[in-house]
């Protein structure tokens, strides 16, 4: 059992550190990143939609065995993030000097990504409880799954108004919630797997809301045909990345 704990905690630390290294590599050329930030916003839209419709929702349908429940939870996730953004907008208007006019989408991304990382930690923990080889395979899938997601999230945080250093730090703190997910899984044991059925569709609803309600409208601010084409290509590439990951899961 001790070996299982060591592998599980080691795996989520690797996942968190890899996400940090990925965004740090991008942050080295901040001026280039800001010039082409719409490309990464487009990549984030594709990754969010691909993650929701290709990974999270199908897995929820498979695990729950109740399509109506999963559909209601997806809608619940969308409505929850709508209400959450309303609250953040009210708070934003009430204190316009805080954090140099940080756009609420930045806080939404941090919250939703934190939930997603927590779920990843639960999944990794449950997999290691089954067997170490299964846990290693799951960890590899999560690593590949998170790379495009973290790149997009970092770009969104910059776009929302965070500085490079703060975006990097907050993104890393969000990634560390995977550790909380592993602790949750290991404490509850096999019972924790039942909670994933409820977490997955709600997280999917949050990803859909952020992609469609917050990020896509930002992409419409770019009017030039060549940049619009590049947006579309980047969006499709984000979706294709999510599709390709089904081959290793």
Give the pLDDT mean for 127-144.
80
Is there a contact between 53 and 207 (Cβ–Cβ < 8 Å)?
A: no
Q: How far is it, in rounded angstroms, from Cα 190 to Cα 122?
A: 10
**Cα 56 to Cα 93: distance, rounded to the nearest angstrom:** 34
Tokens of 28: 């080295």
What is the spatial distance between Cα 80 and Cα 88, in angstroms, rounded to a whole number? 12
| Top-confidence residue, 16 or 27 | 16
Total domains in the fold of the chain: 1
For 193-229, letters b (16+ CB in 10 Å) and e give beebbbbbbbbbbbbbbbbeebbbebbeeeeeeeeee
In a 3-state reduction of DSSP, which class is residue 248? coil
Q: Which of 122, 168, 156 is nearest to 142 (CA)?
A: 122
Query: Where does the pLDDT of residue 99 fall: very low under 50, low under 70, confident under 90, or very high at 90 and above?
Result: very low
pLDDT in tens, 195-235: 777 888 988 898 899 889 988 988 888 778 888 899 999 99
Tell the residue number behind the tokens 């952020």, with chain if given.
210
Domain carrying residue 63: 2-247
């Amino acid at each position: 059992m001790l070996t299982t704990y060591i592998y599980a905690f080691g795996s989520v630390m690797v996942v968190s550190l890899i996400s940090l290294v990925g965004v740090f590599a991008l942050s080295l050329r901040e001026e280039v990143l800001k010039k082409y930030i719409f490309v990464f916003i487009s990549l984030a839209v594709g990754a969010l939609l691909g993650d929701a419709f290709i990974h999270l929702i199908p897995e929820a349908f498979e695990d729950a065995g109740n399509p109506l429940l999963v559909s209601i939870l997806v809608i619940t996730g969308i409505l929850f993030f709508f209400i959450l953004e309303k609250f953040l907008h009210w708070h934003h208007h009430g204190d316009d000097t805080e954090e140099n006019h940080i756009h609420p989408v930045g806080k939404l991304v941090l919250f939703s990504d934190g939930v997603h990382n927590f779920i990843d930690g639960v999944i990794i923990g449950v997999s290691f409880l089954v067997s170490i080889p299964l846990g290693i395979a799951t960890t590899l899938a999560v690593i590949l799954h998170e790379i495009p997601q973290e790149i997009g999230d970092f770009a969104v945080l910059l776009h929302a108004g965070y500085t490079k250093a703060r975006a990097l730090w907050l993104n890393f703190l969000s990634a560390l919630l995977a550790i909380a997910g592993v602790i949750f899984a290991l404490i509850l044991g096999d019972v924790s797997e039942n909670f994933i059925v409820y977490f997955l569709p709600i997280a999917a609803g949050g990803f859909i809301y952020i992609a469609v309600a917050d990020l896509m409208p930002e992409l419409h601010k770019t009017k030039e045909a060549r940049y619009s084409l590049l947006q579309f290509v980047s969006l499709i590439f984000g979706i294709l990345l999510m599709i390709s990951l089904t081959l290793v899961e």
